[in-house]
Amino acid sequence: MSTRHILLGLLSSGPSHGYDLKRRHDERFPQARPLAYGQVYTTLQRLVRDGLAKVEGTDSDGGPERTMYRATDDGERELACWTAETAPPAPFVANEIFAKVVVAILAGGDPAAYLRDQRAAHMARMRELTKVKTTPGADLATVLSADYALSHLDADLRWMSTTADRLATLTAEVTAR
């Protein structure tokens, strides 16, 4: 996920300060890793440096003085280009789970046990996400984020099942080389 573009998108609705951008990010993307304040301010500095955002002024609202930022016309154009780009499908098919299965075979470990444990971890996470999305009053962004994650976890589970069924053949191939 592009923090740069997410912050530009949040700025496109009007001037904001870093604290507000972090709060709005965490509200709009509830299943994403929360942004660190340092990441927000570093990204804002880069956006200003690159001419995609500008300092709009300061605001204190009775508290500490906060710098307000606004997206520039160049920032709006970059944001429009980014949102129009198709996200590329994953370029590589290997992942950490697959790597651990192969390494377990190579190291004389128990790949079947690993797959069982990983399946249990995936199932636990799926239960958590299902609880999140079915909580009364859950907003649509939360439900859709949970659905996205659940779909990926389900695909992993199907892959793990297929791999477990083919483990003897995979072991023979890996150890023959």
| Percent over 90 (pLDDT), the chain | 66
- Alpha helix stretches (DSSP H) within the chain: 3-11, 18-28, 37-49, 73-84, 96-106, 111-134, 140-165, 167-176
* Cβ atoms within 10 Å of 115's Cβ, excluding its own: 20
| pLDDT, tens digit (0-9, with 9 covering 90-100), for 71-81 | 999 999 999 99
Per-residue model confidence (pLDDT) at position 141: 87
pLDDT band, residue 177 (cuts 50/70/90): confident
| pLDDT, tens digit (0-9, with 9 covering 90-100), for 148-162 | 999 999 999 999 999
| pLDDT, tens digit (0-9, with 9 covering 90-100), for 106-160 | 888 899 999 999 999 999 999 999 999 999 999 898 899 899 999 999 999 999 9
The model carries a pTM of 0.72
